[in-house]
Structure formats: C-alpha cells, structure tokens
Structure 1
C-alpha cells in the first residue's frame, strides 16, 4: 500500500472539493475563488463562532438573520447588546454571543473595522481560540494554517489508523494535519477536509467506497475505520436542580431578570429563580401564594443536566425588586429567551 506521503492527499481532496463543495451562505465557491473572489472575513468569523459546538443546519438561519440585520462588523459593533443576545437566543453557549460583541467592537475600534489577517493577531481578539484563528486565517486570507475540528480529527485518525484516544491524541492528529496542509489553496483545502469528514468520513458508516483518499487510508486497509477516532470515557454528567418564578400582571406584563454577565446564560433575559444546585432553596421574588406547576423543565448543558420547578403567581401592582424587569406583554418576545427559559415559558403557557 502507498502511504500518504506518496499519495498526494491534498491534491486529491482539492480536486474532490472542486466538484463537491457544500454550498453555504458564508462560503465562496471554489470556482468563484479561483476567479479572484475572496471571502468576507466578517462572514467567515461570524460563521466560525456560530459553528462552535453547533451543527451547520442549526446555524444557517441564525447566520442569515444576523447578516441581514448587521451586514458588516461596524453594524454589529454598534448594535445594542439586548438585540444581539435576543437574536442569538436558542443557539446556545451564550458566552459566544458576549464575546462576539466584544470582538466586533475591538475590530471596529482598534483595527479600523478590518480583521487582522494572521493567526497570531487573530488569537488576540476576544473569543477567538486556536481553532477559530486558524480557520479565519486560512479560509479568509489563504494562509497555510492547520485547521483541526472534530471532522478533521476523524479524517486524520482514520487516514493514519491512529488508535490513541482523544483528547490526548490531539497533538499527534494536528501534526499529521499540518504535514498535509498545502501552501497552495490552503483556504479551500481547510474547507475540503472538513467537508470530507462531514459528508463521507462520517462518524458512523463512513462511505469509504467514494472517498477521494481511500487508497492511502490505513484504517480502511486495516478494517478499523468504524472504530476511529477512539475517545477517552466521559465522566457521567451530574444533575442539578433549581426553581424559576413566572409572574404575570393583570395587564399581561411579565416579571423578568437580566442574568449576570459572567456564568451560564450570561447577559440573557430569564425568569427570576434560585441557584442551580443539589438542593436549591426556594427564593420567590416577592411574597405571594405561589403555585408550583406539575411539569418540570429538563435541560442538558455541556457539563450537567438541569431540572427546574416552575412556580407561578400574579404580579403585584407594586414593583417587587429594583433589579428585576417588568416587561409589557407587547414588548416580550419568547424568542429572546435562552432555550431553558423558553421551555419554562412554554410549559407555563400550556397549563
């Protein structure tokens, strides 16, 4: 068998990408790029931030709404926080939205609204880590940086039949990916290898028969491709509990709170509630005959499961607390709530 050094993996992937590149609203097609059309760094950056731990299918509509409403980094930088957080609601991992605004404002204020074009400079921006810096510098600026996401890790593990488990094997997988990253068309290559992992070298039932790099794939020859990449066992997620309090006035106004900037759901609107712990205390925002709903909210975050009890009462005429928000029913949009809070709202409305 020829090894990957004798088989030009990069050229094979680029040839395949020229024919089979996925169409995405933030992507410049390979034919257009060959004609001199370069991607908009703003759109590349926005898509990469949205795609962190989120699927392409989930991101498309959000990306279109964001870019229709804020077509440039200047427009996003000038947007009110509440509007941006509201548009982000439902996409999850809300620290990304806070860093999105921070980054847009740094680029607008300190870089004359022009994204820096090198990995090291991009890495200094808020919310941009090693993967995102590599992806932007490669895709937007055609720099030969090594892009390593889950799809690329899987392709490398199978191509070289690497059985060391993730996450410990990341440095080895990156070293293999670096060797294959070409100087010519690195932006297209980065998208090609990600597309390969997303459409052919998939986690389950990889389509090896139509893979453009099947010949040098060591795991295909060994018959181990379905086992790779191996992953270290995950610790079981703990379950936390909490209380949320939904109060509505006779005029339809609702009682809400703005969550602290730091922590889960930072800066988002939500219902007043308790801490999320093993045994949370009941902390209603005002004295009343609070009634608990028979249904509970069940939601899973990255590191834990959450179960919330929902309490309801009538909102009094006097303002309960200065730090809470009384929102007119015409100004309230359920879509502005993060998913876990919207689940509570939907259960309350259904009772």
Structure 2
C-alpha cells in the first residue's frame, strides 16, 4: 500500500499571486507602449510577474532544461519509429551535443539535465550522473500488464519531486521540461484518453519519430487495450500511472506537482509532458497555473490535454521531435516578455494614454 496520495498536493499548491498580477497589469497600463500592442507578450509578462511575486518582473536568469528518460515495453509492438529499448541512444545524442535540444540549448545558453527514470540499458553505457536515479529498467507493456508496481510508481513520483526540489534550491527560475523516451507517446495517449473520456482513435498520433499507417493501427490497438486497463483505476492517480504510465511519466508528474509547490514555473513540451500535466491537474486543480504550453506539436492527444487544462500554446511549429525542443523554442518569447515588461519606461504622469500611441504609430 502506497503512503503517497497525489490528492494531497491540492492543499499544498497555491495560485500565483493575484495581487501581484493586478499590480503588473496596472503597471502595464502606464507604459509608453499602448496596452495590447505587444499581443501575448503582455500576458506572458504579467503571468511571470505573478509567478515571481515581483513587480516589475525579474529577468529569467537561470533557466534549465530537464529531461526525464525511459523506455516503454509497448515499443516491442512496433508502435514507435525507433527500436524498443533504444532511448539510451537519444540520451547519448544529447550528451554529445548532436540532438535538436542540444543544439537549441547551446544557442540559448541553457544547461540540460537528464534524469534516467527507467531506461532499458546497461548503466555502463551512460555516465553515472545520468543513471543514478533509475527506478527500474524499462516499463511494462501496458496493453497486457502494468507499467510499474504501485511501489515503483511512488518511487518515481518521489524522484521527480526530489529533482524539482534540487532545481528550486539551486536557483533555477524557469524549467523547460521534456522527455527522452521510446514508446512514450503510447502511454501518454492512453492517459489523456482515460482522463478525457475519449476513444483510442481520437488521441493516437504518429509520435516523435513518425510511423506509417500499419504502425499507427498497431499503436491505436495498444492504446485501446491499455484504456480497458486504465478505466477501473481512474480514481487513483498513482495507480493510474502504475497501470498505464511508466517510470519517466510518473517522475515527470511528481516533478510538475512539486515545481508548483515550490512556485517554479515550467514550460511544457509535447504530448508526454501534457499527459503528465493532465494527471497533475487531476490531483491539484491549481497546478496548471504554474505551467506554460510551449508549443503545439500536432499530436491529437496533446491538443486535447491542453484544451482540458485551458493552456494556450505559445508556438505552433509542429515540432514532434520531443526532447523539450519545442518548449525550448518558446523560451526566447518568455525572456522577451520579461525584458519588455521590466525595461520599457512608464509615461510621464501628465501624458494621456492616447498620446502614448504615437510611440508605436508615429
């Protein structure tokens, strides 16, 4: 029997400071650039100000990319464009600077942290700092068996919580969240279908590596079978993660919830982080107020999850590669919003708002 109840997070998580947000909105009305002229950047700046509890908003100085890695047994059904058990190859590509997220992180000068929650490989293939967190080697085939035991699911959630605490304690002020998984979009689609009450065909996409029609049909069947196993445990989020999630998804869920407890904003990437966020919302309804949807990947399950959480993606570039790449592309927008909100001057006290419009229109 687990000693962890995810519903307890509902009492621990508060919304970003509404008073600070009102102050930020009032300050925005006084800037030389008319309200609305900067579009969503205004909203972003006010959201970040409330999250920080600071007016004017502070610059994002210590962002971090955090990637949870794991393999999924369901990949053995050829539902992924990559071989089962090969997520360690993705990890090595990031470590060697040869993956999309590694390139983008170098460009943005943002450090990357990889957490091995459930890779199915010999630990000797990876550096010690990557593998030391592993909950188990791979996750079970969710169409016919549980991904994890409940005890393993609890360990994975607590792992994610511990990583969030480490990041918050080290001064990280914004997290770009992603995953490094093979087969991970299948449990993600299952979780979203279960929580949204939809059928497998509605949520099954082509995944980050891309799959043909036959593989899509196999994936759809796997989601359908996993859904049958998920529905009886919908009342318990931890048991749901154990039944049809995986070590990396459970750890990501714990990370998201504890980040909200610690008031640390997070940018979500694709369908995997969206699925974990949806589980987190089920446990603590205020938690999504601490998260941004970085991008719309084109995965149908992701769109459904974001709609359920009322999160409006910042970008729509169709980036399906995962790894946090799409979320990292959104980071410059967040930084720009913070800089504009903090550095644009206010109008002189006697200057009417309509005169300020000349600043923009000439």
**Which TM-score band (shorter chain)?**
under 0.3
Larger Rg: 1
Using the size of structure 2 for normalisation, the TM-score is: 0.20
- Higher relative contact order structure (alpha carbons within 8 Å, sequence separation ≥ 6): 2
Which structure's residues are more often helix, by fraction?
Answer: 2
